């Protein structure tokens, strides 16, 4: 059987369409599978979406559910009948619920005893009977970020639903939405070019109706048409198209019948920084820029119309007029902002609130300059300290410029241009431009050292401030992008081993950069909470790179806070997992950790005394651990963790022998304490690298 379902509505926001299509496909498959209507792997489920419709097509459905046998279990036999063999109320009640006399009940023998039971044959329901209820659950279950109601109805959806098609093998399903909209076989085409209505009888008929209705259902096909058109038009002007994947995807989600068109703007606007032009085109107007063979912008663009028109020049002039207004504003602000040095705007930051409790952007700039100075100590003379401090002082000043007020996406970038105009050296200019980076998990890192230090300081200041007043991410809410900030710091530290510091010390320094009384949480609580947060981000980051979660847990336990050093330990542990002795050593460390945690008070204040050993295995383990400890300390202190773990792997035979021959928890308290102290020495040797007991066996 085949099933066609189309939800026709007002234009779905481009950013929500792809997720809506994915949900529809997954929800239909899950609901059909749970209902037992998917017979085999030959069943095909196709879901598509355009701005005005969500569609799912299913072929290979069962006509009905399979019949099933249900076994109903009743009371135990000894409670079902009295001493004379007469049915009790329990037996009578169970028989009544089954709709049969007690005599018709069967016996079920189990290891726990014999029970009354009744077997019921339940015929499967028809697919046509099941689908309406499944469809109702799906419509009500769409996880749209925002929904709306319309008219007097109670149904909530991303946009008002105008029509619905629901056909099973060509027959209309008896489905009605909560607002009384009945599904039928009438669909609509393109809003302007071939509205319809179109009557359809099935999947093939529906596809033909979409072709006649000038609607391209397949999102990938729309993307292909747009990309091909952009390349063709750019080639006509001897240019190279700039086709960001996210912008291509967005345009495909904005159109049902995409039609790329070439537009132009006055070459005089090219005197404005290229980022301003591309931001105006891509972010605001959804246009695609065009560059020359030299990589510089050309005075033209490609826009994507949602229909064919007899005279495309009219549409193009409209696109050009809208962009010209944007660029005219940009040209005005570009000239006005450069009339005064960037540093003259520093005091204006006192009027810009960063966060109500954390003060202004000026306050943040003062803290930032202080924190950057502390970070500079970690890199020594490899950096121009005066230039670094100047960049940290100026990096937020563009927030009060006209250009950034008009184009907030250009914060930092415009600051770099204005600093350059004021005569700042290139490293300062680049640091200001890049100090907001990385803006996400896939965004590139700042390229120069000054930019990285300012970026780290900026993010750490935000993290400490927000955690210090209890503004921590919860669930999906993260208004200050703290997860992204922590990940950015981690990525920069792991990428550049020349910038290393102890995170706990830096967080404490940042905490004390705030004026007394600003932060509501205590220093220790704030720092501890933040370190847990950092390790959580690190774990997610490394999992995406193929590292197991237990590796992070093993290095987190000893309280390490040098992230680059920590990464080296994790890499060494991953190699350690390949050793033949790995499993036995992890098991031994888990056993040691368990013993020591249970008997902590019994040995902690009693030093290890080799003269009290009474068994050969004790002395052998002590000698081996004493020798290996020297080698482990030497290699671990120089960051050679793989070599350190190789030395530790040599302990496996003596540790195994110790546990085979020695009873650690001896009744004699002196023996017991000494053996516990010996195990603590073994544990401490491993923990020079990591807490191996936290690894998975």
Q: Residue ranges of the domains in the chain?
A: 2-64+126-212, 68-122, 219-337, 342-546, 571-694
Do domains 342-546 and 571-694 share one topology? The answer is: no
Query: Residue 167: pLDDT band by 50, 70, 90 thresholds?
Result: very high
Shortest CA distance to 321 belongs to which of 241, 406, 263? 263
Neighbouring-strand partners of residue 142: none
Phi-psi region of 189 (alpha: psi -120 to 50; beta: other; left: phi over 0): beta
Write down the pLDDT at residue 252: 97
Element (H, E) at 322: helix 312-337
Shortest CA distance to 123 belongs to which of 73, 61, 72, 69? 69
Global confidence as pTM: 0.79
Write down the pLDDT at residue 306: 95
Question: Around 608, how many Cα atoms within 13 Å sit in the side-chain half-sphere?
Answer: 17
Class of domain 571-694: mainly alpha
Which DSSP letter does residue 233 get?
Answer: H
Query: Residue 196: pLDDT band by 50, 70, 90 thresholds?
Result: confident
Q: What is the CA radius of gyration of the chain?
A: 35
Mean pLDDT score of the chain: 92
Q: Between residues 522 and 564, which one has the greater pLDDT?
A: 522
**Cα 669 to the center of its chain, rounded Å:** 53
Query: Residue 601: pLDDT band by 50, 70, 90 thresholds?
Result: low
Q: Given a cut of 80, is residue 377 above it in pLDDT?
A: yes
Query: Residue 26: pLDDT band by 50, 70, 90 thresholds?
Result: very high
Give per-residue pLDDT as tens, 579-596. 888 988 999 999 998 888
Shortest CA distance to 561 belongs to which of 504, 496, 622? 504
Write down the pLDDT at residue 152: 83
Q: What is the dihedral of CA 682, 688, 689, 695, to 10 degrees?
A: 40
Query: Residue 455: pLDDT band by 50, 70, 90 thresholds?
Result: very high
Helices within 340-497 (DSSP H only)? 361-379, 385-394, 402-406, 413-421, 426-434, 449-468, 482-495
CA distances from 171 to 1, 31, 38, 59 (A): 11, 20, 19, 14
288-291 and 2-9: which strand pairing? unpaired
Q: Which residue has the tokens 């680049």?
A: 430
**Cα 470 to the center of its chain, rounded Å:** 23
Neighbouring-strand partners of residue 97: none
Write down the pLDDT at residue 124: 80
Write down the pLDDT at residue 428: 96
Q: Which residue has the tokens 């002082």?
A: 393
* Contact between residue 642 and residue 572 where contact means Cβ atoms under 8 Å apart: yes
Report whether CATH 1.10.3210 matches the domain 342-546: yes
Q: In sequence order, what DSSP letters do the residues of 244-293 get, joined into one string? A: -HHHHHHHHHH-SS-EEEEEE--GGGGGS-HHHHHIIIIIIT-PEEEE-T
Element (H, E) at 120: strand 113-122
Q: Give the percent of the chain with pLDDT over 90.
A: 71
3-state secondary structure of 57: strand
Query: Residue 603: pLDDT band by 50, 70, 90 thresholds?
Result: low
Q: In sequence order, what DSSP letters do the residues of 25-43 get, joined into one string? A: HHHHHHHHHHTT---STT-
Write down the pLDDT at residue 379: 82
3-state secondary structure of 185: coil
Give per-residue pLDDT as tens, 103-162. 889 998 888 889 999 988 778 888 899 999 999 999 999 999 999 999 888 889 999 999
| CA pair distance 548, 540, nearest whole angstrom | 10
* Contact between residue 372 and residue 453 where contact means Cβ atoms under 8 Å apart: yes
Give per-residue pLDDT as tens, 467-517. 999 999 987 788 889 999 999 999 999 887 777 888 999 999 999 999 999
Average pLDDT (532-549) is: 88
Query: Residue 444: pLDDT band by 50, 70, 90 thresholds?
Result: very high
Q: Between residues 39 and 143, which one has the greater pLDDT?
A: 143
Write down the pLDDT at residue 600: 67
CA distances from 274 to 146, 277, 344, 548, 693 (A): 35, 5, 25, 43, 55
User: For residue 190, what are the contacts with CB-CB under 8 A and spacing of at least 6?
Assistant: 213, 214, 215, 256, 257, 307
| CA pair distance 503, 512, nearest whole angstrom | 14
| CA pair distance 97, 101, nearest whole angstrom | 10
């Amino acid at each position: 059987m085949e099933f066609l379902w189309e939800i026709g509505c007002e234009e779905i926001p481009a950013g929500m369409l792809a997720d809506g299509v994915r949900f529809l496909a997954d929800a239909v498959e899950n609901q059909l599978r749970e209902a037992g209507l998917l017979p085999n792997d030959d069943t095909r489920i196709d879901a598509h979406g355009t701005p005005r419709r969500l569609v799912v097509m299913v072929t290979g459905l069962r006509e009905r559910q399979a019949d099933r046998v249900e076994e109903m279990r009743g009371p135990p036999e000894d409670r079902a009948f009295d001493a004379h063999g007469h049915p009790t109320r329990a037996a009578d009640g169970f028989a009544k619920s089954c709709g049969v006399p007690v005599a018709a009940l069967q016996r079920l023998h189990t290891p726990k005893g014999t029970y009354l039971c009744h077997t019921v044959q339940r015929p499967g329901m028809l697919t046509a009977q099941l689908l309406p209820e499944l469809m109702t659950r799906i419509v009500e279950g769409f996880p749209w970020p925002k929904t709306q109601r319309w008219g007097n109805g109670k149904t909530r959806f991303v946009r008002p639903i105008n029509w619905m098609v629901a056909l099973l093998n060509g027959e209309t399903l008896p489905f009605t939405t909560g607002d009384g909209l009945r599904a039928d076989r009438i669909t609509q085409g393109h809003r302007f070019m071939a509205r319809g209505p179109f009557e359809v009888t099935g999947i093939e008929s529906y596809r033909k109706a979409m072709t006649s209705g000038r609607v391209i259902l397949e999102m990938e096909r729309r993307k292909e048409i747009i990309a091909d058109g952009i390349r063709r038009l750019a080639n006509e002007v001897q240019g190279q198209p700039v086709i960001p994947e996210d912008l291509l995807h967005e345009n495909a989600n904005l159109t049902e019948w995409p039609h790329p068109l070439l537009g132009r703007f006055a070459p005089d606007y090219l005197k404005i920084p290229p980022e301003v032009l591309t931001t105006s085109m891509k972010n605001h107007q959804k246009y695609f820029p065009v560059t020359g063979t030299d990589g510089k912008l050309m005075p033209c663009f490609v826009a994507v119309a949602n229909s064919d028109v007899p005279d495309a020049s009219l549409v193009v002039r409209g696109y050009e007029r809208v962009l010209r207004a944007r660029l005219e504003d940009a040209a005005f602000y570009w000239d006005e902002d450069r009339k005064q040095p960037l540093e003259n705007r520093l005091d204006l930051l006192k009027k810009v609130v960063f966060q109500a409790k954390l003060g202004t952007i000026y306050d943040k700039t003062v803290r930032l300059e202080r924190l950057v100075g502390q970070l500079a100590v970690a890199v020594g003379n490899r950096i121009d300290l005066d230039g670094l401090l100047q960049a940290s002082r100026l990096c937020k000043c563009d927030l009060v410029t006209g250009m950034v007020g008009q184009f907030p996406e250009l914060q930092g970038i415009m600051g770099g241009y204005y600093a350059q105009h004021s005569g700042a050296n290139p490293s300062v200019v680049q640091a200001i431009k890049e100090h907001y980076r990385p803006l996400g998990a896939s965004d590139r890192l700042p390229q120069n050292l000054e930019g990285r230090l300012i970026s780290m300081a900026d993010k750490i200041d935000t993290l400490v401030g927000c955690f210090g007043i209890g503004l921590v991410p919860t669930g999906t809410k993260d208004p200050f992008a703290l997860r992204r900030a922590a990940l950015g710091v981690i990525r920069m530290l792991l990428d550049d081993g020349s910038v290393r510091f102890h995170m706990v010390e830096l967080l404490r320094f940042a905490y004390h950069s705030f004026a007394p009384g600003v932060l509501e949480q205590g220093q220790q609580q704030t720092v501890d909470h933040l370190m847990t947060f950092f390790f959580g981000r690190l774990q997610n980051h490394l999992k995406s790179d193929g590292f197991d979660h237990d590796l992070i847990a093993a290095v987190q336990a000893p309280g390490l806070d040098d992230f680059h050093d920590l990464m080296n330990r994790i890499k060494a542990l991953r190699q350690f997992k390949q050793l033949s002795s790995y499993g036995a050593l992890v098991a031994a460390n888990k056993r040691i950790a368990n013993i020591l945690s249970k008997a902590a008070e019994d040995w902690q204040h009693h030093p290890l005394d080799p003269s009290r050993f009474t068994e050969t295995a004790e002395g052998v383990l002590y000698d081996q651990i004493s020798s290996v400890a020297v080698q482990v300390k030497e290699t671990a202190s120089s960051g050679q963790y793989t070599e350190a773990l190789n030395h530790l792997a040599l302990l496996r035979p003596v540790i195994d022998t110790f546990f085979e021959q020695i009873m650690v928890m001896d009744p004699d308290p002196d023996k017991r304490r000494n053996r516990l102290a010996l195990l603590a020495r073994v544990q401490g040797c491993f923990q020079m690298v990591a807490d191996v007991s936290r690894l998975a066996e």
